[in-house]
Chains A and B, each alone.
Chain A
Amino acid sequence: MGLLDVENLKMYYELTRGYVKAVDDVSFTLDKKESIGLAGESGCGKTSVALAIIGLLPSNAKIVEGSITLAGQNIVKMSEKELREKIRWKRVSMIFQGAMNALHPTYTIGYQIAEAILKHEDVSKDEAMERAKQLLQLVGMESSKVDRYPHELSGGMKQRAVIAMALACNPDLVIADEPTTALDVIVQAQVLSVMKELRNRLDISMMVISHDLSLIAETCNKVAIMYAGKIVEKGDIVSIYKEPAHPYTEKLLAAFPSVLGPKTELSSIHGFPPDLLYPPPGCRFHPRCPQAMEICKSTEPKLLEMGRPGHYVACHLYGGEKK
């Protein structure tokens, strides 16, 4: 049994016009020390999955079906109080997109990290501060920076501080939502190397959410590609990046210009992701798929194992239903 087990998760947002099927039948598992990347275009539901795991759903969101098991406990069934006391920070913590710009401007970095520790653990203020210092060192900052205010730090430093904060209560799982957007390439490389080092040094699992496949290649060992609320392909990172099966994954990978490899024409995916209020029937990717067949328009492909073990793909081009 893994650390995190998401099973047939369905999460819909309720609007007056109907339900937005943001997460529709998503399953994946994550073991200790593993890290998984959730990739896809904006609006594909990747952040919604993370919010469900940490139990911070917007008021109009509802988990319709499925379970999220974290270290043996089903999070979906928990009350807000239980989530707050047992799960958030201690078991799972999240680095939100743009979190570095959400640091409180009038408190020091150290205070903000210590605050998280004090709220969740029975320690003295001095101890908490001491731990904040250690955490900053862990992410490659000088411990003297605890006394700094957010405006005195650069973007890269703030992002490191936010990562340190996520680690404050020794969580088992850290979710990072677009951890490096808005950072420059060099600073991004620095932050990524900090994240990789942390995963190796501490016993934590990570979930990285990004539209940038190169970022996931750098940090994860598993990946799940999402499209319109569904996982279309998942598996070991090497097999997916080297032998992408789903046309969407293929396109997504080819959309990145390479620095050193041969100069190829960038592929693009024509059209736009569907409106999740009224997702298209059959395979949700079929209106944009260059290899769409008749069956794709009517029957939804199942997520089936193909080729290498652990490599799942939901596409009519593969598996038993090959036509």
Chain B
Amino acid sequence: MTEQEVTVEAQNLVKHFPIKLGFFRTLVTKQAPEVHAVDDVSFQIKKGEIFGLVGESGCGKTTTGRLLVRLLEPTTGKVFFNGMEITSISSGREVRKLRRKIQIIFQDPYESLNPRMSIYDIIAEPLEIQKATKSDREITERVMGALDDFDLVPAEEFMYRFPHELSGGQRQRVAIARAFVIRPEFLVADEPVSMLDASIRSEVLKLLLSVHQKLRTSFLYITHDIALARHMCDRVAVMYLGKIVEKGGTEEVVHKPLHPYTEALIAAVPVPDPTARRISVILKGEVPSAINPPPGCRFHTRCPYVMEICRQKEPPLLTISENREVACFLHGANKV
């Protein structure tokens, strides 16, 4: 990959959520505790690229996605879209303008569709909000086109249905069609298939990929399943407790994981092959609390290769080779 246009850039994004305390606790607590959901995360998504964020629940991947589409305000840090800083935009009108270019697909199609709206209204809504077109006929055409694109055929029939009449896979396709109907340049897909059965999952993914190819939309693909990330993404970043621990081309990361956490994540993926010999490095324990993340390397409490330095110092995310970054004292310039 040579010099390519960067569509979205996250620069040192930080998001801390303050925790509400009771009245008396606020009197005795000096500093209000905070959940360190995202801590200093930076990455670039190039034009037409699918960039994956992989990690367990609570690692901050969804928060990062929401920061990028401005559903959340970062505590510090900046987001650039086509070279323009979008974190400082404050007027609602400007934000709305932005949403014409930036869309998001949510995880749960059972909750992201308004049950009282017909499929037609759901998909037409972004066009209406964005005043993409004045003529009703064009709206209808575009809604039908979107339904066609996502294989919700016959479109004339689907248009008048309501979400409760659709299966999970169909609902998610409606949600995707809604995101794509205004032809966004950048799309955040937050675990779009995790609620679906395996057989339906692959069909939805195929549709996503084919639309991506057609429109060259840039993607942020958020998932906990690294096998899926491998299938979908050009590059991935692995997150752990609010930090990116490893970043690189998907194939390289999957075949030669450098960070011990990435290694564990890959080893834990169940394989549909009863004869496969499993690498039995299963991590012990669970992700520590993001309220008081461990000092030093955040992964040190569970790392099988933990060293003394990991407990004291935090390894910075350093470039190892072209397109490859890792934050671990075992590798590159960090190596001790």
- Residues from chain B with a CB closer than 8 A to the CB of A317 are none
Once bound together, how far apart are the Cα atoms of A1 and B272, in whole Å? Answer: 30
Once bound together, how far apart are the Cα atoms of A242 and B275, in whole Å? Answer: 9
Q: Are B197 and A41 touching (Cβ within 8 A)?
A: yes
- Residues from chain A with a CB closer than 8 A to the CB of B254 are 259-260
Binds B, one of A76-84, A206-214, A302-310: A206-214
Once bound together, how far apart are the Cα atoms of A188 and B278, in whole Å? Answer: 14
Once bound together, how far apart are the Cα atoms of A156 and B199, in whole Å? Answer: 26
Mark contacts of A188-213 with chain B using CB atoms, 8 A cut-off: 1 yes-contact digit, 0 otherwise.
Answer: 11101100000000000000000111
- Residues from chain B with a CB closer than 8 A to the CB of A238 are 274-275
Q: Does A289 contact B (CB under 8 A)?
A: no
Once bound together, how far apart are the Cα atoms of A61 and B175, in whole Å? Answer: 34
Min C-beta distance of A20 to chain B, whole Å: 16
Q: Are A214 and B231 touching (Cβ within 8 A)?
A: no
Binds A, one of B34-42, B138-146, B263-271: B263-271
- Residues from chain B with a CB closer than 8 A to the CB of A259 are 226-227, 230, 254, 266, 269, 271
Q: Does B283 contact A (CB under 8 A)?
A: yes
- Residues from chain B with a CB closer than 8 A to the CB of A253 are 272
Binds B, one of A6-14, A110-118, A266-274: A266-274
Min C-beta distance of A292 to chain B, whole Å: 17
Min C-beta distance of A255 to chain B, whole Å: 4
Q: Does A251 contact B (CB under 8 A)?
A: yes
Q: Which of B206, B266, B273, B282 contacts A217 (CB 8 A)?
A: B273
Q: Are A268 and B199 touching (Cβ within 8 A)?
A: yes
Mark contacts of A166-201 with chain B using CB atoms, 8 A cut-off: 1 yes-contact digit, 0 otherwise.
Answer: 000000000000000000111111101100000000
Q: Does A74 contact B (CB under 8 A)?
A: no
Q: Are B200 and A217 touching (Cβ within 8 A)?
A: no
Given A268-B202, A268-B203, does the pair A237, B274 have CB atoms closer than 8 Å? yes
- Residues from chain A with a CB closer than 8 A to the CB of B200 are 41, 268-269
Q: Does A60 contact B (CB under 8 A)?
A: no
Q: Does B167 contact A (CB under 8 A)?
A: yes
Q: Which of A189, A221, A252, A269 contacts B282 (CB 8 A)?
A: A189
Once bound together, how far apart are the Cα atoms of A232 and B251, in whole Å? Answer: 36
Min C-beta distance of A285 to chain B, whole Å: 12
B-contacting residues, A103-158, CB 8 Å: 154, 156-157
Mark contacts of A294-312 with chain B using CB atoms, 8 A cut-off: 1 yes-contact digit, 0 otherwise.
Answer: 0000000000000000000
Task: Give the size category of A's interface with B.
Answer: 35 or more
Q: Does B224 contact A (CB under 8 A)?
A: yes
Q: Are A266 and B197 touching (Cβ within 8 A)?
A: no
Q: Does A257 contact B (CB under 8 A)?
A: yes
Write the chain B residue with the least CB distance to A41: B197
Task: Give the size category of B's interface with A.
Answer: 35 or more
Q: Does B198 contact A (CB under 8 A)?
A: yes
- Residues from chain B with a CB closer than 8 A to the CB of A42 are 168, 197
- Residues from chain A with a CB closer than 8 A to the CB of B276 are 217
Once bound together, how far apart are the Cα atoms of A263 and B255, in whole Å? Answer: 12
Q: Does A291 contact B (CB under 8 A)?
A: no
Q: Does A75 contact B (CB under 8 A)?
A: no
Given A259-B254, A266-B206, A272-B167, does the pair A41, B199 have CB atoms closer than 8 Å? yes
Q: Does B225 contact A (CB under 8 A)?
A: yes
- Residues from chain B with a CB closer than 8 A to the CB of A263 are 230-231, 251
Q: Does A215 contact B (CB under 8 A)?
A: yes
Once bound together, how far apart are the Cα atoms of A272 and B158, in whole Å? Answer: 15
Q: Does A258 contact B (CB under 8 A)?
A: yes
Q: Does B228 contact A (CB under 8 A)?
A: yes
Q: Does A19 contact B (CB under 8 A)?
A: no
Q: Does A218 contact B (CB under 8 A)?
A: yes
- Residues from chain A with a CB closer than 8 A to the CB of B206 are 266, 268
Q: Are A186 and B283 touching (Cβ within 8 A)?
A: yes
Q: Does A28 contact B (CB under 8 A)?
A: no
Once bound together, how far apart are the Cα atoms of A50 and B56, in whole Å? Answer: 31
Q: Does A256 contact B (CB under 8 A)?
A: yes
Mark contacts of B201-243 with chain A using CB atoms, 8 A cut-off: 1 yes-contact digit, 0 otherwise.
Answer: 1110110000000000000000011111011000000000000
Q: Does B323 contact A (CB under 8 A)?
A: no
Interface residues of chain A, those whose CB is within 8 Å of chain B, are: 41-42, 154, 156-157, 184-190, 192-193, 211-215, 217-218, 221, 237-238, 241-242, 251-253, 255-260, 263, 266-270, 272
3 closest residue pairs by CB, A with B: A268-B203, A214-B270, A266-B202
Q: A185-B268, A186-B283 are in contact. List 10 more A-B contacts (CB 8 A).
A: A41-B200, A157-B286, A214-B271, A215-B270, A242-B275, A253-B272, A255-B199, A258-B271, A260-B266, A268-B202
28 A-B pairs in the complex with CB atoms less than 8 angstroms apart: A41-B197, A41-B199, A184-B56, A184-B224, A185-B56, A185-B226, A186-B282, A189-B268, A189-B282, A212-B198, A217-B271, A217-B273, A217-B274, A253-B272, A255-B198, A255-B201, A256-B198, A256-B272, A257-B231, A258-B227, A259-B226, A259-B227, A260-B254, A263-B230, A266-B206, A266-B231, A267-B202, A270-B203
